Amino acid sequence: MMTILTPQLHVLPTIEELGEAAAVHVSRLSAEAVAARERFIVALSGGSLIRLLCPPLVTESRRSQIEWSAWHVFWADERCVPLTDADSNYRVARETLFDLVNIPQTQIHPIDDTLDPVAAAGSYQSELARTFRPGVNRVPRFDLILLGVGEDGHTASLFPGHPLLEDRERWVVPVLDSPKPPPERITLTLPVINAGRQVVFLAAGGGKAAVLRQLLDTGVPPGALPAQMVRPAEGEVHWFVDEAAGGNLVGR
């Protein structure tokens, strides 16, 4: 019987210290993955996550210690907009990370922004298959999946009560009716997220405090919120939060 590990909580006094602690954690995971498997495959999310993590990740002292040429970067979710659009998660990552480090362009995997959401999701699943080559009846196993969480408990582009939460066959699915704009997106499914070696959530601000208490409760009750359903069977979950979001969870 598999034992699903309890999420590990890291509460930092400020947003800046949250970003710094997460950057230290990511750089350590990168070194460990490269030593073990000669590459580091990571999935990024949008929202505030990239802007929290990337500035401390690319400081001069840390940037020189990371083997960026071993990184392969995918997206846990992406908005179906042009890659140059202000709403594009790729654009934010390019401006705050890719333009500053030497990840080979062929190892950065944005969605095909010329396709409609259904075709883009299918194309992205094929891209995952080419990189991971997971074998029959297996799903890709990321070294790290970086996620945010909404005040409604959504993560990636998996929203509460949405039928896509039940999808166990596909790795990437189109979202045509996101309750948050823009409505059209693609997202990794729960089977892929829960296959990750490590999943790291970043959350900041008092607006996340109420939902965090629910999300970090033990177990996955009926009607669980999407972020509650992220419980890798053979991996770890870490939450990096600031005092405003998680201070009332200390000692729980």
Q: Is residue 67 part of a domain?
A: yes
Sheet of strand 144-147, all strands in order from the earlier edge strand to the far edge: 8-12, 236-242, 198-203, 144-147, 40-44, 71-75
- Tokens 């990511």: give the residue: 26
The pair of structure tokens assigned to 128 is 């995952």
pLDDT tops 80 at residue 161:
yes
Q: In the prediction, which pLDDT does 218 show?
A: 62
CATH number for the domain spanning 85: value is 3.40.50.1360
Q: Is residue 94 part of a domain?
A: yes
**Mean pLDDT over all residues of the chain?**
92
pLDDT: which is higher, 169 or 3: 169
- Return d(Cα 101, Cα 42) in angstroms, integer: 15
Q: Is residue 173 part of a domain?
A: yes
The pair of structure tokens assigned to 108 is 């950065």
- Give, as one character, the DSSP assignment of residue 137: T
Q: Is residue 177 part of a domain?
A: yes
Three-state DSSP state, 135? coil
Q: Is residue 154 part of a domain?
A: yes
Region 59-72: mean pLDDT is 95
Task: Name the band, by pLDDT with cuts 50, 70 and 90, for residue 7.
Answer: confident
Q: What is the amino acid identity at position 243?
A: E
- Tokens 């948050």: give the residue: 180
Structural domain range at position 88: 13-192+199-220
pLDDT tops 90 at residue 3:
no
Region 87-112: mean pLDDT is 97
pLDDT in tens, 210-242: 999 888 876 667 678 999 999 998 999 999 999
Domain count, the chain: 1
Q: Is residue 4 part of a domain?
A: no
pLDDT tops 60 at residue 156:
yes
Three-state DSSP state, 200? strand
pLDDT tops 60 at residue 252:
no
Q: Is residue 130 part of a domain?
A: yes
Region 63-79: mean pLDDT is 97
- Mention every residue, 6+ apart, whose C-beta is less than 8 A from residue 71: 30, 39, 40, 41, 42, 103, 107
User: What pTM, to 2 d.p., does this model score?
Assistant: 0.94
- Give, as one character, the DSSP assignment of residue 252: -
pLDDT tops 60 at residue 2:
no
pLDDT above 70: percentage of residues in the chain: 95
pLDDT in tens, 28-38: 999 999 999 99
Q: Is residue 235 part of a domain?
A: no
pLDDT tops 50 at residue 1:
no
pLDDT in tens, 181-210: 999 999 999 999 999 999 999 999 999 999
Complete DSSP assignment for 38-84: S-EEEEE--TTHHHHHHHHHTSHHHHTTS-GGGEEEEESEEESS-TT
The pair of structure tokens assigned to 89 is 């998660």
The pair of structure tokens assigned to 67 is 């083997």
